[in-house]
Amino acid sequence: MLTQGTCPGNGPPAREDADVPYDRAGRGGVGPGRCGPGRESSGVDSGNAAGQGVLRLRERSFGPGQLLVMARVGRSPGARGSAPDEVAAMERVHAVVAEGADLVDLGGGPAVPFVAAVRAAYPDLVIGIGAWRHETARELCAAGADLLHDVDGRLAEVAAEYGAALVCGDADGAVARGVDPSRVLIEAGLDAWPAPAATRRVEELVAAGWPVLVSVAERGLNAGGAGRLAATAVYAWLGARVFRADQVTQTRRVLDMVSAIRGDRPPARAVRGLG
């Protein structure tokens, strides 16, 4: 049974009968009725992702303490305007899976055969795509896509029809149109350094109880890759749960470190000082 929570901004309902898995630290998931803190931003305290519910992607369930890496897989255009280089894109898929990506983002408008090829190669991999039309989104879901990026706010019905997860800007509207609340992600819409306005936005979204997806672009980060990883650490500390990234291995290390510092998982190696 679903019971409506009391999170600010009409957060997702808590599932009383959910099979909540243990997180990496061996701790149980959330209980019924718990929600985000709804507190004012302090700029210091970590976000309360532990007050959120389970996120379900494909047949997998992720507890609130699990931080996920979504690897970008771009299909770069071929020479002289020819079809995108799907061979290189598939090689990128192989690489990011080997590096430990939790899910892949194939970008906007991937070809249906390419999605089907990725699904055939990796039956359990969570595949995210962007789409603009209902017909295309249905074809992509039928080919194996699990996560729709709702570019223009019109794909909730398709996600509900196929049981897919949805990245959107209006979680309540998506649920009202039939999307499973445990399969809704909110896109924070960030592409630069975590300035005060950006950090407040992430805190507010986390407090509302929905899993937050962040993507930090290189533009605006003078430190380049190091800047992107630093921004990732800030947003992870504030409670974001899914991170679209190019640097899969480095992002995974940053997220694991933040999880250990927050107490969501044990450190990879404990060193005790003597003397």
Inform me whether the pLDDT recorded for 188 exceeds 80. Answer: yes
- Residues 23, 2: Cα–Cα separation, whole Å: 22
Helical ranges in the chain per DSSP H: 86-99, 112-121, 134-143, 156-162, 171-176, 196-207, 225-238, 248-262
- Residues 205, 8: Cα–Cα separation, whole Å: 9
Q: CB of 96 within 8 A of CB of 222? A: no
Look up the CATH superfamily of 45-76+83-262.
Dihydropteroate synthase-like (3.20.20.20)
- Give, in degrees to the nearest 5, the angle at Cα 114 between 109 and 120: 135
What pLDDT digit, counting tens, does each position of 125-162 carry? 999 998 888 889 999 999 999 999 987 778 999 999 99
Q: CB of 178 within 8 A of CB of 156? A: yes
What pLDDT digit, counting tens, does each position of 58-112 carry? 999 999 889 999 999 976 555 444 446 888 899 999 999 999 999 999 987 668 9
Mean local confidence (pLDDT), 5-22: 38
- Residues 41, 7: Cα–Cα separation, whole Å: 16
- Single out the residue of 59, 70, 74, 73 nearest to residue 102, CA to CA: 70
- Residues 199, 178: Cα–Cα separation, whole Å: 30
Q: Can you give the pLDDT at residue 39?
A: 32
Single pTM value for the model: 0.76
Run of H or E residues at 216: none
